[in-house]
Structure 1
Amino acid sequence: MFKNYLNIAFRNLARHKVYSLINIAGLSIGLACSMLIILYVKDEVSYDQFHSNVNHIYRIVSRNERNGEERYNSNTGHLQGPRFKQNVPGLETFVRVQSGMEDVKLGNEIQSQSLLFVDSSFFSVFSFPLVEGNPKTCLTEPHSIVLSEDEAKKQFGNTSALGKTVMVKEDSTFVPYKVTAVSERCPQNSSIKFDVLLPFRSNEADAANNDNWYSYFLNTFVTVNPGSNVEAVEKQIQKFYIKDASATFTALNLKYGGPPDAKMETYFLQPFTDMHLNTQLPAQNGLSNQSNPVYSYILSGIALFILLIACINFVNLTVARSVKRAKEIGIRKVVGGDRRQLITQFLGESFVLCFLAFVMAIVLAIIVLPVFNDLANKKLAFSYLADARLVVGYIALFAVTSLLAGFYPALVLSGYKPVETLYSKFTLRGKNYLQKSLVVLQFALASFLIIATFTVYSQFDFLTHTDLGYDNTNIVKLQVNNLSHQKAALFKSELLKNANIVDAAAKNGGSWFTGAKIANDSSIQFAYETIDEHYLPMLKIPIVQGRNFSKDYPSDSISSILVNEAFVKKAGWKNPIGETVNFFYNNNEIYRVIGVVKDYHYAALNDTKIEPQVFTMKNSNDYGQVEVKIKPHTATEALKFLQSTFRQFFPMSPYQYVFKDEEYLKSYEAEEKWKQIILFGAVLTIFISCIGLFGLSVLSAEKRTKEIGIRKVLGASVQSIVTALSKDFLILVLIALIIAVPFAWIATNKWLEKYPYRISLSWELFAASGLMVICVALFTISFQSVKAAMSNPVKSLRTE
């Protein structure tokens, strides 16, 4: 009997090629998307699970309340690890992990190398296997260095790196470091990734200075004894911290003008595996690949939408085609077939079709995987399928899909009455509300994703094309650490001798933030920039009041500052020129405001709003970068000159450059990726919905063949027939739009809330999305409707 069911299933597939292709294509796309998303989610939840002691590894973190808002801090300093380990029972060991950059000499070339400074217990806590070396002793000596196998190959080729030396810059000279170990490549799903490890640098003065309780610049990890209660350990940590640091906290709070009701933070332990998907205490400050669980939710939602729409197509097309199988069902019932056998047959056909779709989905997923990796910024491999739980998951996905897609049609088909089917009196009774509801559901989902796509594209366009308040075109940034004002002036003077160099200006490296007091003794926090007199004019940032820095005024490099409009507003000044700012913690240095800078977006628009900003030309503040304006279309010649001049002035520093506008656009890489992912999801969703709609329109036209012939004989035009055939489907699409719009409005508004600067949702955006959905649906329906309307009425009237 099973063989007979199988033969019938394949015979039906071969006889109805169009419908079979639509069902298999839709299901395979939906299943392929689901497979890829399962791979993605599996990778996300597997982060850092490879460490043998992972259930006992925690990160020391803290929380504090300021102005009624709870804030979290994942950074610690010199003291937390060693003092908690020494004074809190239950802590087995600790390791501090600090990110850094060091100049490394490779032959005659000098390169800036990102690396990690770690304690000697690093390989005791974390399970990173070594190719060469002893994990217990490889980081005990101050001038030892551990390389990854990739870095070792880059430095020494295929020869053994163990015992060889690497020249690392300390202060102004290169010092030999001995390679004491070579590590295997870090796993892709690791929050800690490294190519170079150096011993953590600390001295007795750092360890004895209680002020270092409040110097946060690294991650501290601890292992808890297997028999210890974590909550009890956390209480002991907090108890010791209050005892050891309360006097220091009070003194520092008084010194730096903190609020009188300031409270000490509360320390607690964060599970190591919690970092990757934690939004309050993410993997950062030397740790990599922090993520957000919302990404998994969004991708899973898209995959579910696509799979659900594919299943809806299957149900709709199977039920709609059921009229053509009515006689077969009637004969089976007359010769003794019961309903249970018919349900088994049709479910079997569903499983056969889903199996074919499943095989095609695997092939499709393998083909598309490289593109998906690029979109999701992953390095997923289909070898992940070897995981037993994942295989079970895919089998469950196959079974659920087969049942979901085939169960309802099997119930409907097995319920036909043999008398009606054999005398050709059978029709689908009622108004077919379920089929219509399913069409509405799938187009509501498609409309939702189309609106989301329009929103994401609009926000991305807004982020990348909004006027920043300055000109960042044709500007090359050169990193020069600890650059004195005198050396900067000489370097810029030499650069300006080249005809391709328009201007040059110096600025501090990185981002500086600090605070000070104003005349009414209130404190104000601000971004702190050290610049020269050419910086603002070169970027075309206007001075709205007062003047810019000038070499004609010696006091400008001693006691003058510029502030931005946001600072003036926060300070409540009406006449800012001449006002003073007191850096009270630095021997009460007083600076006088000489000008007000127009607000500009010094940070990316997805980062923060424009905050108070102070500019200084103070001689004792070193610069960290030089920005060079070059003539358009001269990049090749200008960069060659920049490199030769840089090496002439800074032979001991690595030459690194980046174009300022390109660096800015990199701030929106995440938005760019999600723009593409949402687009692909929307395209697939609308595609599957439309092929299902196409199949239903074909069946509708076939059922109404005689009606179309009569209409044409009575003089109906092609347009009126197309309208009659399309009207019902278009009404369903319009209902779907009405349902989708409010949900899309709520979801997109929620998504936009995370941006400091964002678009306003307008009716035009929703109208454009709706018009697109209607046009695509109309094109899909009208294709078959026009074909049916233009057919010869003589043939249609002879159908019976």
Structure 2
Amino acid sequence: MEPDLPPRPPVWADRLLSLVCAPHLRESVLGDLHEEFRYQVRKAGLRKAQLRYWIEALGFLQWRYIKRTKSDYPPTYLLSRDMIRNYFTIALRTLVHNKAYSFINVAGLSIGLAAAMLILLYTKDEVSFDQFHANNPDIYRITNKYISPEGKQVGSMGNTGYVAGPAFAAGVPEIKAFVRFHGHRNDIKRGNEIKSEDIFRADSSFFSIFSFPLLSGDPNTALKEPRSVVLSEAMAEKQFGSKNVLGRTVLMKDSFEKDARFEPYTVTGVAKKCPQNSSIKFDMVIPMVIGPGEAHRATNWFNTFMNTFVLLAPGTNIAQVERKMNLVYNAEAKEAIKEVALKYGMKDKKVYNLQPFPDMHLSEELPSDGGLVGHSNPLWSYILTGIALFILAIACINFVNLTVARSLKRAKEIGVRKVVGSGRMQLVMQFLGESFLLCIIAFVLALVLVQLILPIFNDLANKSLSLSYLFDTGLVLGYLALLLTTGLLAGFYPAVVLSGYSPVRTLYQRLQLSGKGYLQTTLVVLQFTIASFLIIGTLTINSQFNFLINKDLGYNDEHLISVDKPNLTREQAHLLRLELQKDPNIIAVAPKNGGRWNTAAKVNQGTEIPFIYETVDHEYLPAIQVPVVKGRNFSPAFPGDSTRSVLVNEAFVRQAGWKEPIGQIVDFTYENFKCTVVGVVKDYHYTDLNEEIGPQLFTMRPANPYGRFFVKIKPASETSSLRHIAETYARLFPLNPYTYRFLDDENLKRYESEARWRQIMLFGTTLTIFISCIGLFGLATLSAERRSKEVGIRKVMGASVASITRLLTSDFLKLVSLSFIFAFPLAYYAIDKWLQNYPYRIGIDAFIFLEAALLAVLVAFLTICFQSIRTALANPVKSLRSE
């Protein structure tokens, strides 16, 4: 029994048919479509017949769009399965019969697509940071900035002290909850082994505000008790060899307490591993325990060492909350503001703001710090995206160039197809089909490449990406969009050009490419413009990196070992020096404060100078070989040095404006302490070269504890010296973990980011050059084939192999040379902007541009030369007798 058919087509089909044919034809067309539908029901079944019905309807619309005639009925199978199968068969046969052409295009497109996929993974990870929390977008970080009396912003930071969170939560109704979070290191004891581990302190609301699921334990009460601890599953395995550890104890010594002992902390929860795209990553979290005096001290409004987050009510007006926060601050800190202004001369106004939690990761002004991890510079995302687009664009350019260049070889095929009745749209579909088939093959290979390259890429980008981790709906749609876009970009222009050839001219071999090859010329120039741009960028980054790691730091970091020892007293430092120097391989031992201290003091009876505050002894500067250029060093011969004398560096002298620094007074107003400058230290790079040398002050004050010590050893004595240092440390400080590092290695690690991006740029540039060269090789091959008769005639007339090679290569080398006109200005502008990020940098050297040009020309010449010489050496008889 035949199914009931609708008396009229759907509304959309009816409207479309009305646009392309007259009403009397419309009914005839529908009648034919219905008749075909009934036939297909009997032949293939209802479901297949319905699919075929819509294919036929779309085929008619396509035919009327082409407007072959205004009265004929459309061909029945214009978009039928047979025609689609035919397109596929022809496309596959064409690709198989032209292996070199297919390999070049598939290789180029697969590499380009793989690069684009990797950048999609990277970008997806970057923009998804901290988005997994259920309370987003209502989580904000409390930040603050300083406004000068003139109304200019003079500073900003993302950290707060103890007071801000509780005060704002109590005074602003829109704030539902708050949590404070900061990291430090505590000593952990397991058996007789003591190790220093990263510990995080947080309020009890931590697991209710943030979405860090617990494998065991109650998130609402896990951090209620003062001596409780929540472990990550990895830390639970490490400490106890199991994840079922609720109720067990961890022996921990609080580094915030001077005379702390190991205390038992009860495990109240085990958390799942923190996601890769999280700014908060922890292995151990303990409660934030604050004494009442510390919690309510008004001057804590001006401490900045922890992150404070607030959870707002949904739909809250952020500007209104910020206004209320500042009203609370100005009311509760009124007396403290006056005290600080009077004591330290602070005139800038402090203003509190809110930063959306997910914005921290890519923020340049307020990055994630203070225990938060993974901060990234958005500039690198732009650079990576640019490289991926460059590589993909060059692959598409190769496709277009090679397809258009090959078109003359397919001219007869196109002419024959047109003579036997193929319409232009059918030819367009055929060539687009070839393009998409090639893109699909390249896409599959790209997925394989991504899986193979991903571990290397993770090392370069300092990520832990995986296809399974980020294979969500959005990414799949992104891949499909990438595939479709690439197929259209690579195949549309060649399809339009090839389908427009005149059958008469093609069959009589009178066809020449129009426009004198302007498109091909432009694309080759564009291709090598991009390649040259990346070569210059890579050479510049490499030169800047070499400059950073080889620049004289102003002190000698070779054979200098740094050992951590928190709260090292003067007596302990003296005993440690005596014990270590019993080994003849130990040249010097010099204690120093731990971490980096920043403070400020007044000079010239009122001018305040911020500086780096170093606590050392008299052996520190000789140990690192930094000279005193004026005055003298600290000395045991002057007992008052520890309480009344300081050293300053040259940058301090310049900022203070002193012509004669010796004898100048530095007034530590906030400590009611004055001291006299007895020496000026030569400027040296106490931090990495990404930061300019600033004012630095050295003191021996007994009130300031040491935090580590440097040990200078003789060359080639590392093994014995390290053993002696470890044994001495274990004997003198048995309850402290022993950690050491060589200072030169530590300095190199400061430039790990530059090293990684140098490798990424080199990798991207290599891929770009490779794809450009295989495209150029393909063009040279096709050019040589087209000019084979010319070459044969020239050889018969006596032309040498060298002259023919020069003839075949000169046109391409001219295009490569032309690309420098565009690449050089763009590269100069880009690297000038990039180098401005470094206070100590290389100059823009013309040699880099010359080196890039020579490299591009050499690579292009070697690529073309192989095929050119092969053509020049070929037997001219074969080319002259072939039709």
TM-score by length of 2: 0.89
How far apart, in 1, do the equivalents of 2:612 and 2:144 lie?
A: 24
Aligned to 2:465: 380
| One-letter identity of the residue aligned with 2:293 | A
1:405 & 1:584 partners in 2: Cα distance?
A: 70
Q: Which residue pairs with 2:251 in the alignment?
A: 167
Show the counterpart of 1:745: 828
Whole-angstrom CA distance in 1 between matches of 2:430 and 2:774: 26
Matching of residues 245-260 of structure 1 within 5 Å: 245-258=333-346
Match of 2:418 among 305, 313, 333: 333
Distance of 2:286 and 2:754 partners within structure 1: 35
Does the residue aligned with 1:351 lie in a helix, a strand or coil?
Answer: helix
Structure 1 residues 385 and 553: alpha-carbon distance in aligned structure 2, compared to 1, 3 A threshold: closer
Deviation (angstroms), 1:227: 4.3
Q: Does 1:687 align with 2:770?
A: yes
Partner deviation per Cα, 1:570-595 (whole Å, 9 max, x = no partner): 222222222222222222x2212221
Q: Following the alignment from structure 2 to structure 1, what is the Cα–Cα distance between the partners of residues 282 and 416?
A: 71
Verify: 1:45 aligned to 2:124, yes or no. no
Give the corresponding residue for 1:238.
326
**Deviation of 1:128 (Å):** 0.8
Structure 1: which amino acid aligns with 2:277? N
Q: Aligned partners of 2:834, 2:869: CA distance in 1, in Å?
A: 42
Counterpart among 76, 92, 97 of residue 10 in structure 1? 92
**CA distance in structure 2 between the aligned counterparts of 1:297 and 1:189, rounded to whole angstroms:** 19
Contact 2:216 2:246 in 1 (8 A): yes
Residue of structure 1 in register with 2:789 after alignment:
706
Distance 1:509 1:134 in 2: 37
Partner of 2:683: 599
Structure 1 residues 641-661: Cα deviation after superposition (integer angstroms, max 9, x where no partner): 111100111111111101101
Q: How does 1:517-556 map onto structure 2 within 5 Å? A: 517-556=602-641
- Tell me the amino acid that sits aligned with residue 659 of structure 1: F
Is contact 2:147–2:351 with CA below 8 Å preserved after alignment?
no
Contact 1:529–1:616, Cα closer than 8 Å, also in 2: yes
- Structure 1 position 36 matched with structure 2 position 121: no
The residue aligned with 1:223 is 311
- What is residue 226 of structure 2 aligned with on the other side? 142
Q: Does 1:766 align with 2:854?
A: no
Q: 1:91 aligns with which of 175, 190, 196?
A: 175
Return 5+ residue gaps in structure 1 as ranges.
none
Compute the displacement of 1:620 (Å).
Answer: 2.4
Amino acid paired to 2:557: N
For 2:608 and 2:309, locate their aligned partners in 1 and report how far apart those are by CA, in whole Å. Answer: 35
How far 1:486 sits from its partner (Å)?
A: 1.6
Distance in 2, matches of 1:545 and 1:245, equals 44
Which of 623, 626, 642 pairs up with 2:709? Answer: 626
Partner Cα separation in structure 2 for residue 102 and residue 738 of structure 1: 59
Structure 1: how far apart are the matches of 2:514 and 2:653?
74
Residue 158 (structure 1) aligned to one of 230, 235, 242: 242
Query: Which AA in structure 1 matches 2:576?
Result: F
Cα separation, 1, equivalents of 2:164 and 2:351: 13
Match of 2:799 in 1: 716
- 2:206 matched to which residue of 1? 122
Paired residues of 1:249 and 1:264 also in contact (CA < 8 A): no
Q: Deviations over 1:236-257 (max 9, x none)?
A: 1122222222331122111012
- SS at structure 1 position matched to 2:195: strand
Q: % of aligned pairs identical?
A: 55
* Aligned-residue RMSD, C-alpha: 1.3
For 2:656, the equivalent position in structure 1 comes to: 571
* In 2, Cα distance between equivalents of 1:136 and 1:575: 62
The equivalent residue for 1:109 is: 193
C-alpha distance in 2 between matches for 1:747 and 1:442:
18
1:519 to partner: Cα distance: 3.1
Q: Which amino acid letter does the alignment assign opposite residue 30 of structure 1? A: G
Residue 263 of structure 2 aligns with an amino acid whose one-letter code is: V
Distance 1:227 1:735 in 2: 57
Any residues of structure 2 matched to 1:197-216 within 5 Å, and which?
197-216=285-304
- Give 1 or 2 for the bigger CA radius of gyration: 2
Contact 1:471 1:539 in 2 (8 A): yes
Counterpart mapping for 1:288-327 below 5 A:
288-327=373-412
Q: In 2, Cα distance between the equivalents of 1:231 and 1:172?
A: 44
**Contact 1:191–1:289 (CA under 8 A) maintained in structure 2:** yes
Residue 32 of structure 1 and its aligned partner are, at CA, apart by 0.5
Aligned to 2:554: 469
Give CA deviations for 1:313-344 in whole Å, capped at 9, x if unaligned. 00000000011111111011111111111101
Name the CA distance, whole Å, in 1 between partners of 2:694 and 2:743.
Answer: 21
Shift of 1:275: 1.0
Q: What is the distance in 1 between the residues matched to 2:296 and 2:86?
A: 85
Cα deviation, residue 761, structure 1: 0.5
Once residues 675 and 41 of structure 1 are traced to their aligned partners in structure 2, the CA distance between those partners, rounded to angstroms, is: 19
In structure 2, the CA distance between the partners of 1:312 and 1:159, relative to structure 1 (3 Å rule), is closer
Cα gap change, 1:227 to 1:701, in 2 (>3 Å): closer
Of 500-509 and 225-234, deviating more is 225-234
Does residue 836 of structure 2 align to residue 731 of structure 1?
no
Please name the residue that 1:55 is paired with.
Answer: 137
**Partner residue of 1:783?**
866
Rounded to whole Å, the distance in 2 between the matches of 1:689 and 1:473 is: 44
Q: Is 1:76 paired with 2:76?
A: no
**CA separation of 1:502/1:392 partners in 2, compared to 1, >3 Å: closer, same or farther?**
same
> What is residue 579 of structure 2 aligned with on the other side?
494
8 Å contact kept, 1:39–1:384: no
Distance 1:159 1:566, change over 3 A: closer
TM superposition shift of 1:70:
4.2
Give, in whole Å, the separation in 2 of the partners of 1:356 and 1:428.
Answer: 29
Cα shift readout 1:107-127 (whole Å, capped 9, x = no counterpart): 111111111100011111011
Distance 1:62 1:429, change over 3 A: same
In 2, the alpha carbon distance for the partners of 1:531 and 1:647 equals 23
- Residue 284 of structure 2 is matched in structure 1 by 196
User: 1: CA distance between counterparts of 2:432 and 2:177?
Assistant: 59
Deviations 1:264-299 (A, max 9, x none): 222121111111111111111111101122221111
Report the CA distance between 1:520 and its aligned residue: 4.2
1:682-713 Cα offsets, whole Å, 9 max, x none, are 00001000100000001111111111112122
Matching of residue 186 in structure 1 with residue 274 in structure 2? yes
Q: Give the alignment's TM-score, normalised by structure 1.
A: 0.98
Between the aligned partners of 1:165 and 1:288, the Cα distance in structure 2 is 28
CA distance in 2, matches of 1:332, 1:444: 38
Q: Distance in 1 between matches of 2:137 and 2:631?
A: 60
Do the aligned partners of 1:385 and 1:391 also contact (CA within 8 Å) in 2?
Answer: no
1:635-674 aligned within 5 A:
635-674=718-757
| Counterpart code for 1:149 | E
Single out whichever of 547-556 and 307-316 deviates more from structure 2: 547-556
Contact 2:215 2:270 in 1 (8 A): yes
Q: Alignment partner of 1:55: what SS?
A: coil
**Match for 1:43: what amino acid?**
D
Q: How many Å separate the matches in 1 of 2:619 and 2:740?
A: 19
What runs of 5+ residues in structure 2 fail to find an aligned partner? 1-82
Moved more, 443-452 or 274-283: 274-283
* Residue pair 2:141, 2:354 contacting (<8 A) in 1 also: yes
Superposition map of 1:376-455 within 5 A: 376-384=461-469, 386-455=471-540
- In 1: Cα distance, 2:867 partner to 2:243 partner: 69
Task: Determine which structure has greater relative contact order: mean sequence separation of CA pairs < 8 Å that are 6+ residues apart, divided by chain length.
Answer: 1
Structure 1 range deviating more: 206-215 or 228-237: 228-237
SS class of match (2:516)? coil
Contact 1:138 1:181 in 2 (8 A): yes
- Aligned counterpart, 2:102: 20
Q: How much has 1:499 moved relative to structure 2?
A: 2.1
